[in-house]
Amino acid sequence: MVLARPNQPYPEPSWSGWGDASLKPALSGDVLELVTASLGIRERGRPAGSIGEMTLPPSRIDAGITERLVERLSAGNVVDEPEARLRHMRGKSLTDLLRLRDGELGGAPDLVLLPGSHEQVLDALAICSAARIAVVPFGGGTSVVGGLEPAADGFAGVAALDLRRMNALVELDEQSRLAVLEPGLRAPEAEQLLGERGYTIGHFPQSFEYLTLGGAAATRSSGQASAGYGRFDELVLGMRLATPVGTIELGRAPKSAAGPDLRQLLLGSEGALGVITRLTVAVRPVPKARVYEGWRLESFAAGAAVLRQLVQDGPLPTILRLSDEAETALNLAGPSDLGAGEGGCLAIVGYEGDTADVEDRRAGATRLLEAAGAAPQPETGERWVRDRYRGPYLRDALLDAGMIVETLETVTFWSGLARLYGRVSAALRESLAAQGTTPLVMCHISHVYPSGASLYFTVACAQLPDPVAQWRAAKAAASHAIIANGGSITHHHGVGTDHVKWYREELGELGIEALAAVKRRLDPDGVMNPGVLIAPE
């Protein structure tokens, strides 16, 4: 029995770009001329071909194994058609998209599996494990760290396990304010189903439109309103995991002293230990009031100090973000004066909740901001809310124009924030300048905690003849700087395959060995998303 399911068909995002391809903006001639001149762009980027023009080799998976999967899942839910396989290949990182534009199709799954229940997931994993077929759990396909491209050498094939059919709101416990949800439910669908009943999860990352709840749990996703609602992993109070050797059920109570909390082991496991098939998530009443404001502060350091005061001493807004000088100049300038502006740094401050609560917190935060010399920026808060999911679409348009545009993020304690910001920014600039390109490096604080904050960098520069190698060199330089200066290799993007090397440095050899031992117990044949989190042995 389920309480509700979405009544809209599952949207198929662009296979070679972000989301709905029709939303990619058309850059005006003036903007193209400006970015070309300012970044030294010499050639337009290579556009992606049509999906119908792409040619994949036949599935490598033995026909007998495919027949067994069909017996368990039914014929329509075991798919080897080229278009379906292409749509389940890789994620949406810069290097993913550039390689598709070059026609590089290596690593496409041999089969796409569409289970409809926990039991069907167990059956599929058992069959694939026995046949040495690598399994990649697939939600919204929005990974930007190689989380959907397994290290599959030596396997008999690769199967993408798409969870879109497992998309129910199973139960709503209004007394405990908990919702039981299936992992293939997309974030907008979850908000609609819960909103009709007066509740919200409050999880709104930039990938919101295509993110699935299972993916949010598997990557420790953090939404833009995390200051008020918390990270997604903080909201998960129970879960069920299907593995090649059986089922794990967790979450008997909100807190417990019954040994280590294994939920924390499975949250962030990125499909390397098994497949999340059910989640119990904390919900809240839909807020009656929402207010979003923009404030300009003197400098990034001054703005960071204000954010720290708000998160440590209150009143705490629901949304709290701060752009550095470069990002502020870009955000507040018009199309004709890109990079211009009055200086300073833009903070986005948002409040959600009961009307009285919003008014009280807003009044207290306003007094603190004004005392710090902040000046209000009319309409910028509402504009940010309106456009907050549009950034990846602009990236696609800028790739067409011949630019590299990519992001990376980290997190550290407040005492190390300024140093980490400076060292990572310098590493990116120096790496790209050494390759002969002049980059624009921007940053914002996107998530805050009493003890620290995240840093989210955006980098733009002209594409070189090998833009994949160009970006990988810059990303490696930034990753080394992150680890050397006390940051975590990721705050919310995940480890995937891109960060495995630096994750090993961060966790240490003994920590990696302990994680690998857990994987061997739950996944003895090593078929679950191989190469993600843990390098192949």
Q: What is the DSSP letter of 186?
A: B
**Cα-Cα end-to-end distance for the chain:** 42
Tell me: the pLDDT tens digits for 384-419? 999 999 999 999 999 999 999 999 999 999 999 999
Q: pLDDT tens digits for 196-255? A: 999 999 999 999 999 999 999 999 999 999 999 999 999 999 999 999 999 999 999 999
Choose among 199, 197, 187, 254: nearest CA to 224.
Answer: 187
Is residue 334's pLDDT more than 50?
Answer: no
| Pairwise CA distance, residues 213 & 140, whole Å | 9
Sign of CA dihedral 417, 532, 407, 431: positive
For residues 237 and 254, is the Cβ–Cβ distance under 8 A? yes
Q: What is the pLDDT of residue 34?
A: 77
pLDDT band at 339 (very low <50, low <70, confident <90, very high): very low
Query: How large a percentage of the chain has pLDDT more than 90?
Result: 90
How far, in Å, CA of 374 to CA of 210, rounded? 35
**Residue with structure tokens 């679950």?**
528
Phi, psi values for residue 338, rounded to 5°: -55, 130
pLDDT digits (tens, 9 = 90+) for 144-191: 999 999 999 999 999 999 999 999 999 999 999 999 999 999 999 999
Three-state DSSP state, 214: helix
CB 32 within 8 A of CB 338: no
Closest CA to 221 of 465, 409, 477: 409
Given a contact cutoff of 8 angstroms between Cβ atoms, the answer to whether 499 and 472 are in contact is no
Backbone angles phi, psi at 2, to 5 degrees: -130, 155
Backbone φ and ψ for 240, nearest 5 degrees, come out as -125, 135
In angstroms, the CA 270 to CA 233 distance is 13
Mean pLDDT of the chain: 95
Give the whole-angstrom CA distance, residue 490 versus residue 507: 12
Give the whole-angstrom CA distance, residue 190 versus residue 57: 37
Cis omega (within 30 of 0) for bond into 315: yes
pLDDT of residue 337: 40
- d(Cα 380, Cα 239) in Å, to the nearest integer? 39
Question: Per-residue pLDDT tens for 438-457?
Answer: 999 999 999 999 999 999 99
Is the domain defined by 169-285 classed in CATH 3.30.465.10?
Answer: yes
Task: Give, in words, the CATH class of 289-484.
Answer: alpha beta
Is it the case that residue 106 has pLDDT exceeding 90? no
d(CA 382, CA 4): 32
Q: For the chain, what are the domain ranges?
A: 169-285, 289-484
